[in-house]
Amino acid sequence: MDLFVIPLLKILIVLNATLVGVTYMVLLERKVIAWAQSRLGPMRVGPYGILQPIADAVKLMLKEDITPARADRWVFTAAPIIAMVPALIVYAVIPFGDKATLFGREITLYITDINVGLLYIVSVASVGVYGIILAGYASNSKYPLLASLRASAQLISYEVAVTLTLVSVILVAGSLSMVQIVRAQESAGWWFVFVQPLAFAIFFIGGLAETNRAPFDMPEAEQELTGGFHTEYSGMRFALFFLAEYANMIVVSSVATTLFLGGWLRPFPGVSALSFLDIIPGWTWFLVKSFVFLYIFIWVRATLPRYRYDQLMRIGWKVLIPLAIVNLVVTGIIKVMLL
Amino acid sequence: MFDTNELVLNMGPQHPSTHGVLRVVLRLDGEKVVDADVVIGYLHRGIEKLSENRNWTQIILLTDRMDYVAAATNNVGYCETVEKLMAIEVPRRARYVRTILCELQRIASHCLWLGTHAMDIGAMTVFLYAFRERELILDLFEEFCGARLTYNSMRIGGLPQDLPPGWDKKVLEFCRIMDGKLDEYEELLTHNRIWLERTKGIGTLTAAEAVDLGLTGPPLRGSGVPRDIRKDEPYAAYDEFTFDIPIGTAGDTYDRYLVRLEEFRQSLRIIRQATEGIPEGPIVGKVPRLIKPPAGETYHAIESPKGELGYFIVSDGKSTNPYRFRVRPPSFCNLQGLRRMVKGHLVADVVALIGSLDVVLGEVDR
Amino acid sequence: MITPTHYMLLSAALFIIGVIGVMVRRNIIIIFMSIELILNAVNINLVAFSAQLHNAVGQVFAIFVIAVAAAEAAVGLGIILAFYRNKETVNIDEMNLMRW
Amino acid sequence: MGEAIAFYTLSFFILVFAVLVVTTKDTVHSVLFLVLDFLFVAALYALLGAPFLAAIQVLVYAGGIVVLYLFVVMLVNLKRPPEAHEDPHRRTRFGYALSVAVLVELGVVAAYSHAIPAPVLAGARSVIPVSGNTEEVGWLLYTSYLIPFEIASMLLLVAMIGAIVLAKREL
């Protein structure tokens, strides 16, 4: 029972919650951008358009699924799946909360806590690149090919910077396990964003680039590459790419919440004067923090123009990676000298 | 990129940022543009030839369809050319109204340019902001002539009808609103680091190059050449107002952007002066019942939002339609600069440069 | 009960598949990938013994093997590209000149 | 029992995908099978109690090296099939024969070692003052194997510079 049923139930709940969250993320994005642009956004389907994601899903499922005539049929079909799966299995190690008692049974609010949790996230995320590269290759079309070359170069470059910031967090926390990192913040008494502000900034910028979000969204720059790597996709396969992108956004914000914003901890866990906030369950804090992060993602998109490809690479290699290395070295020196 | 082969990329005619049906055949080395071939003609409707079979008043309607985002300017240019051919004196009130309409149209056209240009570079919010203000102008036009896009708002010798009552108040109110909105656009773009990186040093043209390529309007002024027909060869009532001609220094995309933004302000200045000083009087001059200009030819140019919009008309003096009708479209001439500008830049810059030239394909192909 | 012998046999089979790839295929990219298979076969052995002996040294060696594989892939693919640019082929039978 | 099922399943997939890597005509498909193969090898590492190495395998091999392969395959877009030309002096059968001989040899070695089980070296673990797979590997890397580690990093640096020199058209 405890070995199989509860983990299976957890997986089921997390997967479904993620997919629903992703579809509503799309609605949230449309709404927030609409408000930023003094519009209303979707209003027709349901009150204030809250049923819009369902209508979108139905529409995408019923659409004709086109495979271009000279596409590589197998790879073309596999690419969206390859993009979607890593985005979903990352949730296995994300701690949404500490423990909860449900029907007299104590349940941990994460699917599993493995020793190499952070490394697992990084490695699984690195497999997600394949979806984009293969989509561009298999479409047998020039715009997707250009976009997939851009995307893979971008993802691989920014992965370096992001991973280096993660290493400095690991140095501070002394563990690769996501749960242990949160516990380290609990015992330290403050969130790691105050310990590692530079790492947080680099992680945020790198996260924007890793998820192909504005201002680094040139792999899918509609104005330049007519939609990027998924130009030739339609119907449900396009929807999978779309969902994967938003699922990745949620992953990035969850990881940022866990590593830098104290996961399920309340603000300032070290200050006992704020302990009245403990009534609020941990998972609520987690969701609120992730939501704030996601909101910033959307806000940035509504505000900023797009970088150019070479400028993006310059920022990645000449600014973020050196900064991340300096941050790592300084963290190491402080850790060895002072602590 | 490693590949030595050049990639030939067909940008358009169906592409989200070629502003209609422009086709640019790019030869790419990686993402760098080695050469570009601009292919036009997808929107050719034969307006010039068609005009030779229409009478003089019917042509006004055709000129609407050239630069369809600045139809009033086209109307004014055409009517003034015919008036010049027939030597008709236009009443002062009509000339004032023409000036107001032209400048409103310039703001509307620049709004569209700003929105799409910013959209091409990825700033999607500016697009909707700019279109929101363009809507106010379209409302003003709708009140004046009943149409929102193709106005047919001019007649040879004057105006089709007088201004609706209270219209001038609304224009002044619009000027007040627009002042604040311009600051809003500037806040989003002018000092934005990403915007600066995307536009500075992109598609730089020196003054000599710009003149050689035959550019006019903001692309020419962005390169530092103070050429503006409103000042150099005043038409309508421009000689009665004070305004400045903004010019750029570097001649890059950013300078062209700054020039157009300053033109917004100068246009508002002209509109204010004109609306406040609008004289009473007739709106149509002495026009014969049948418009039939004497034999001869004439060329008359005005400053459209895109540049020098010139009409060359030949009349044989016998028929009620022109013998030859030719337009010098600013978009067409400015587009010639594209090939020179995109060389050595990246694909992403191509869309920025097309936006920066502000071409309307309806006018390029006619 | 799975003994190290099982892992050794698996590793030997993987190794041989890699060797056959190197010997039989003429596409140099496939040959490179076969070499990666061989390296993986070696790694499986190292890790299996590391587990058997309760000693992490085998894993350390596997990490070195991965590092060497990365270096090899980078340089090797660089050579392939340089070669392809000059001769428009990746067929190893056509690579019969020491210089060009 | 569970271990046996896992082992045989993983081995089956590892070998099948390895065969597909070597035999597939389309190079891109071959690269994809290679990724799958590496993922299953990573799973095998996890089964062997080496989760750190499993993660490294996915991160470096699947997420790094094979992407490089894919890049090259996409850049080298061939106008004619890469195996069109065959050297008449090539001895494919000899290659097969040699491979089978090596396989037999390795099988014999494995069977021999099965007959004489290796002694379990206990006590090697007690040198390491940390517990946990990642910590053990890290400890060994930065103490006993520090010099090889540094040499490996130099090797990577050299390879990086070499690759740049080779691939760049003009320096």
Which of A233-237, A246-250, B138-142 is predicted least confidently?
A233-237
Confidence of residue A222 (pLDDT cuts 50, 70, 90): low
Rounded to 10°, the helix A73-89/A129-138 angle is 160
Look at residue D86 in the predicted model and tell me its pLDDT: 66
Q: Residue A98: its pLDDT value, please?
A: 74
pLDDT for the residue A25: 87
- The amino acid sitting at B332 is F
Tokens (6 digits) for A230: 């998924």
Rounded to whole angstroms, how far apart are CA atoms C24 and C34? 10
Does residue A38 sit at the B interface (CB-CB below 8 Å)? yes
pLDDT at B2: 42
CA angle A214, A216, A219 (to 5 degrees): 105
Angle at A221 between CA A125 and CA A146, to 5 degrees: 75
Chain D neighbors of B31, CB-CB under 8 A: none
Beta bridge partners of B312: B299, B326
> What pLDDT score does C29 carry?
86
The pLDDT score that the predictor gives to residue D83 is: 63
Instruction: Please give the CATH number for the structural domain made up of B46-365.
Output: 1.10.645.10
Q: In what order do the strands lie in the sheet containing B307-315?
A: B296-304, B307-315, B324-328
Query: If you count them, how many residues does chain B have?
Result: 366
Q: Say if residue D111's pLDDT is above 80.
A: no
Q: What was the pLDDT predicted at D116?
A: 62
Encoded tokens for B119: 């959209």
Q: Which residues face B202 on adjacent strands?
A: none
Distance, in Å, from the CA atom of B311 to the CA atom of B103, rounded to the nearest integer, reads 19
Chain segment C39-51, per-residue pLDDT in tens? 999 998 888 888 8
Assigned token pair, A288: 């609120």
pTM of the model: 0.82
Report helix, strand or coil for D136: helix
Mean pLDDT of A270-285: 75
Is the pLDDT assigned to residue B3 strictly greater than 50? no
Per-residue pLDDT, averaged over D62-81, amounts to 76
Residue A169 clears pLDDT 80, i.e. is over it: yes
Q: How far apart are CA C82 and CA C75, in angstroms?
A: 10
Half-sphere exposure of residue B121: CA atoms within 13 angstroms, side-chain side: 32
Backbone angles phi, psi at A113, to 5 degrees: -125, 95
Tell me which of A137, A224, A306 to substitute to probe the interface with B (most B C-beta atoms closer than 10 Å): A224
Residue (of A31, B273, C36, C97) closest to D35 by Cα position: C36
More confident position, B122 or B17: B122
pLDDT for the residue D85:
64
**Neighbouring chains to C with at least 3 Cβ pairs closer than 8 Å:** B, D
How far lies B363's CA from each of B44, B307, D42, in Å?
9, 12, 62
Tell me which chain B residues have a C-beta less than 8 angstroms from the C-beta of D75. 1-3
% of chain B at pLDDT higher than 90:
0
Closest CA in chain B for residue A218: B348
Indicate whether D128 pLDDT > 70.
no
Give the residue from chain C lying closest to D113, CA to CA. C5
Count of pairs with CB atoms under 8 A, one residue in A, one in B: 85
What pLDDT digit, counting tens, does each position of B20-55 carry? 788 888 888 777 888 888 888 888 888 888 888 888
Our CA-based measurement puts residue B1 at a distance from the nearest CA of chain C, in whole angstroms, of 11
Q: Does the N-terminal peptide bond of residue A7 adopt cis geometry, omega within 30 degrees of 0? A: no
Taking residues B4-18, report their average pLDDT. 73
Contacts of B189 (CB under 8 A, 6+ apart): A305, B118, B123, B126, B195, B257
Q: Helices A73-89 and A117-127: crossing angle, nearest 10°?
A: 160
Q: Does D123 score more than 60 pLDDT?
A: no
Least confident of A28-32, B30-34, B353-357, D143-147: B30-34
- Tell whether omega for the bond before A197 is within 30 degrees of 0, i.e. cis: no
C18-30: buried (b, 16+ CB within 10 Å) or exposed (e) per residue?
bbbbbbbbbbbbb
Query: Six-digit token pair at B331?
Result: 């978009």
Q: What is the pLDDT of residue C99?
A: 61
Indicate the residue of D69, D85, D86 with minimum beta-carbon distance to C33: D69
Give the pLDDT score at D115: 62
Span A296-313, pLDDT tens digits: 888 888 888 888 888 888
pLDDT value, residue D139: 83
pLDDT at A313: 85
pLDDT confidence of residue B1: 38
| Cα A89 from Cα A121, distance rounded (Å) | 9
Mark out the alpha helices in chain D (DSSP H runs). 2-23, 27-47, 51-56, 66-75, 92-115, 133-142, 146-167
Contact of A128 with A247, CB cutoff 8 Å: no
pLDDT at position A268 over 80: no
Average pLDDT, chain B: 85
Q: Which residue of chain C is at minimal alpha-carbon distance from B3?
A: C85
Please name which of B235, B352, B274, B232 lies closest in space to residue A309, comparing C-alpha atoms. B352
Nearest to A127 among D56, D63, D133 (CB): D63
User: pLDDT tier at D103 (50, 70, 90 boundaries)?
Assistant: confident
B1 touching D, CB under 8 A? Answer: yes
Question: If you ran DSSP here, which 8-state letter would residue D145 be given?
Answer: T
pLDDT tens digits, B310-335: 899 888 888 888 888 888 888 888 88
Question: For residue B293, what is the DSSP state?
Answer: P
For residues B365 and B44, the answer to whether their CB atoms sit within 8 Å is yes
| Of D170 and A225, the one with more pLDDT | A225
Residue among C15, C34, C60 minimizing CB distance to D141: C60
pLDDT bucket at D170, cuts 50 / 70 / 90: low
* Pick from A11-15, A56-60, A216-220: least confident: A216-220
So what's the pLDDT on residue A65?
Answer: 81
- Judge whether D152 and C67 are in contact, CB under 8 Å: yes
Q: Give percent above pLDDT 70 in chain B.
A: 98
CATH for C4-93 is 1.10.287.3510
| A59-68, A288-297, C39-48, range with the lowest pLDDT | A59-68
Nearest Cα neighbor of B160 from B144, B148, B149 is B144
Extract the tokens encoding B17: 């940022």
Q: How confident is the model over B271-297, as a mean pLDDT?
A: 83
Q: In what order do the strands lie in the sheet with B32-39?
A: B7-11, B23-29, B32-39
Per-domain residue ranges of chain B: 46-365
Task: Provide the pLDDT for residue C98.
Answer: 66
